[in-house]
């Protein structure tokens, strides 16, 4: 098996079908390519990436070449998937890239996840803080985190969502 994530393998299959891409995708998204390859190589080898620098470099180059030639929708899906899974490491990251963020626990609690992200963002704005994530980015990362969370963490999320329903902004965030 290659040292690429399933998404990378899907890209290998889709590239011959794709039209002309941006051409400079690799340069614009080197951090995403490095994250994807680093976590995938770690998962596949079970070791530290530094020990596999040739494999890592090869993965970034090959994936970048394929994405440079891929259709914009394929490129955007790659970027979105890396962002959604960015908080995970190694095989958890690889599993995330292969999963649907709208399935499982998160799919059943999508409305509560969107409300969490909306209220959190509103609170950041009200406090004069810079917003670190857009609501859709927050929802994607939160969905992924909750899909991989323990039952206790999921129950805590549900309890807060139920208890704080109807509150907005910082009142929702500070609700325990």
What is the mean pLDDT of the segment spanning 69-75? 85
Q: Residue 25: what pLDDT?
A: 85
Residue with tokens 């929702």: 172
Q: Residue 22: what pLDDT?
A: 36
Q: Give the pTM.
A: 0.54
Tokens for 99, please give them.
């999963």
DSSP code per residue over 15-38 = GGG-----S-HHHHTHHHHHHHHH
Tokens for 137, please give them.
């980015």
Q: Residue 130: what pLDDT?
A: 87
Nearest C-alpha neighbor of 67 from the set 33, 34, 31: 33
| Lowest model confidence (mean pLDDT) among 21-25, 31-35, 55-59 | 21-25
Q: Are 106 and 155 in contact (CB under 8 A)?
A: no
Tokens for 45, please give them.
């080898």
Residue ranges per structural domain of the chain: 6-97, 104-174
pLDDT in tens, 113-131: 999 999 999 999 999 998 8
pLDDT at 78 over 80: yes
Tokens for 100, please give them.
């649907």
Q: Residue 112: what pLDDT?
A: 93
């Amino acid at each position: 098996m290659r040292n690429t994530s399933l998404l990378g393998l899907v890209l290998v299959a889709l590239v011959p079908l794709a039209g002309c891409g941006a051409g400079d995708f690799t340069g614009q998204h080197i951090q995403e390519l490095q994250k994807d390859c680093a976590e995938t190589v770690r998962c596949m080898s079970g070791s530290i990436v530094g020990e596999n620098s040739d494999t890592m470099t090869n993965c970034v180059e090959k994936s970048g070449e394929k994405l440079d030639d891929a259709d914009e929708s394929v490129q955007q899906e790659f970027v979105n998937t890396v962002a959604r899974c960015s908080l995970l490491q190694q095989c958890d990251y690889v599993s995330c890239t292969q999963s649907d963020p709208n399935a499982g626990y998160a799919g059943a609690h999508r409305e509560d996840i969107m409300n969490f992200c909306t209220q959190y963002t509103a609170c950041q704005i009200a406090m004069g803080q810079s917003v670190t994530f857009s609501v859709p980015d927050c929802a994607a990362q939160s969905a992924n985190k909750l899909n991989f969370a323990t039952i206790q963490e999921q129950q805590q999320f549900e309890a807060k969502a139920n208890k704080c329903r109807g509150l907005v902004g910082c009142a929702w965030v500070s609700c325990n």
